[in-house]
Amino acid sequence: MELLTAGLNHTTADVALRERVSLTGAALDAALRELRQQPGVQEVAVLSTCNRTEIYCLAEGTSPDLAGWLARHQQLPDASLRRAMYQYRNQDALRHMMRVAGGLDSLVLGEPQILGQMRDAYSHANDSGVLGARLARYFQQVFAVAKRIRTDTGIGTHPVSVAYAAVSFARHIFADLSTSRALLIGAGEMVTLVARHLKEQQVAELVVANRTLARGQVLAEEIGGRAITLEELPGALEHADIIISCTASPVPVLGKGVVERALKKRRHRPMFMVDIAVPRDIEPEVGKLGDVYLYTVDDLHEAIESNVRQRRDAAREAEKLIDEALLRHERESRELDAVDTVKAYREKMQLHAGAELQRALRQLEAGQDPAEVMQRFQQSLINKILHAPSVQLRRLAAEKREDALRIAREILLDDAVSEDTPARQPEE
């Protein structure tokens, strides 16, 4: 049985191609069923996110053409899709799965969402009946390593996105964000990301100020906040502990005077402000006011660069954890290879023992002496057990295969003999 991983991601395919191979909902269910019917495929799962679509499967006999199947299924040109796809086998496939789940293969190094997405892929395949026990064990190994990566390396503890860094800075000023009120100026992509992070922190109130009220209301509804226009900013500032701004305005939307008046009404309770916009939304002079902590996008990028370096250090530790896990897996796999041999040998010995037992029972039924019957049973069974090993040992000795003889001694006598151990002398 062979473990295969095939797919494409943000490093091999642009967003237009990734969109065309994306598999979700009913399309994913149909794809899983169809994949399971491909020649050689025994078990299968599919991970599909905005940054990657990957197929994980166990194959036996015929090696499936996963790239060709995906091209046909998604009605894409075969050649162009193959150029964007990668494929790994066995240990390399397992390593790739571990790197993906650990966030080492993500667009943002160490991002945590991918582990949950991989768990969802596992559950979906299991619920669809296309995931068997063996592929499930691979996934469990992957999840265990990913958990160790997150807990032992701290790869996800250092924010590396502007939006997340802004919220992290706020936590340094306000220990408990759940008692703080946030004012977001703008409703674009960056502010949306900040808003989602703040919602996760359970901020007490979220207000979205935007030039177009309707667009601000869309974001406000998503995060459970309320929307206002830019004209209402002075009143909103009085109640805001956290202000994060990112608009496309060519001139500042917050000046020193309006912030100064808000501070007086707040009785100089501190205000944390982040200006992510370029050109800036908040006049630089605001940062000179007492009780105002003002950060620009440059301040965030400086922190992010430091955090990226720390994540890279953590990623190197994570790679070592994966190497250790793969070594354990390889050893366990080799140990499992012996199971079939042990099973076959046990069955063979049971046949011999069964035959000798039946013979002994017939002799007892015939009235023969029980002690003699049992002695013959013992001797005959020993002879049967030792016959094949004895023949092979004599052959190995005749061929001077000393290493094989040492291994045989370890197996038969549980007696490892080193090369430095003197040979036993025959008794006189």
Residues catalogued as catalytic = 50
d(CA 203, CA 221): 15
Determine contact, residues 18/49, Cβ cutoff 8 Å.
no
- Beta strands per DSSP E along 271-337: 271-275, 292-296
For the chain, count helices (H), then strands (E): 15, 10
**Do the strands 181-185 and 205-210 form a parallel or antiparallel pair, or are they unpaired?**
parallel
Which residue type does 249 have? Answer: S
Longest dimension (CA), the chain: 117
Determine contact, residues 352/384, Cβ cutoff 8 Å.
yes
Q: Which residues pair with 229 in a beta bridge?
A: 210
The residue whose two tokens read 């999840």 is 143
d(CA 67, CA 69): 5
Nearest to 194 by CA among 216, 172, 223: 223
d(CA 190, CA 184): 10
The long-range contacts involving 20-27, CB below 8 angstroms and separated by at least 24 positions, are: 20/74, 20/76, 21/48, 21/53, 21/70, 21/74, 21/76, 21/81, 22/48, 22/50, 22/53, 23/48, 23/53, 24/48
Determine contact, residues 277/298, Cβ cutoff 8 Å.
no
Cβ-based neighbour number of residue 236 at 10 Å? 20
d(CA 372, CA 370): 5
**Do the strands 242-245 and 181-185 form a parallel or antiparallel pair, or are they unpaired?**
parallel
